[in-house]
Amino acid sequence: MKHRNRLEIIALILQNAIETNGATQKRIMYKAYLSYHHLKSYLVLLRQNDLLFYDEFRRTYKTTEKGERFLNIYYGLNEVVSMTNSIISR
């Protein structure tokens, strides 16, 4: 697996938690290829910044509206960067 930066990992976590009923820690951990230790630190960071919501009753994580905006901006910037890279490499 290639080296991933923090933003890529955050986007993976938010994308996995965007489902209608949310996602469990286990599901996010496996889908984002993270150890439990790393997952916990990212979940704390995302909750503190209101990008992720934890439903204590269902024990699931759900991407907030702010988290969805982050994903839209992140994917938009990635698209611009890839277009720029293709122009530069010509």
- Tens of pLDDT along 35-87? 999 999 999 999 999 999 999 999 999 999 999 999 999 999 988 887 776 67
Average pLDDT estimate for 1-27 = 89
In this prediction, residue 60 carries a pLDDT of: 96
pLDDT > 60? residue 1: no
In this prediction, residue 47 carries a pLDDT of: 98
CA dist 89 and 28 (Å) reads 35
The pTM (predicted TM-score) of the whole model is 0.87
Domain range annotation of the chain: 6-88
The three-state (H, E, C) secondary structure of the chain, written as one string: CCCCCHHHHHHHHHHHCCCCCCECHHHHHHHCCCCHHHHHHHHHHHHHCCCEEEECCCCEEEECHHHHHHHHHHHHHHHHHHHHHHHHCC
Choose which CATH entry (1.10.10.10, 1.20.1250.20, 3.40.250.10, 3.40.30.10) describes domain 6-88.
Answer: 1.10.10.10
CA dist 89 and 71 (Å) reads 27
In this prediction, residue 89 carries a pLDDT of: 65
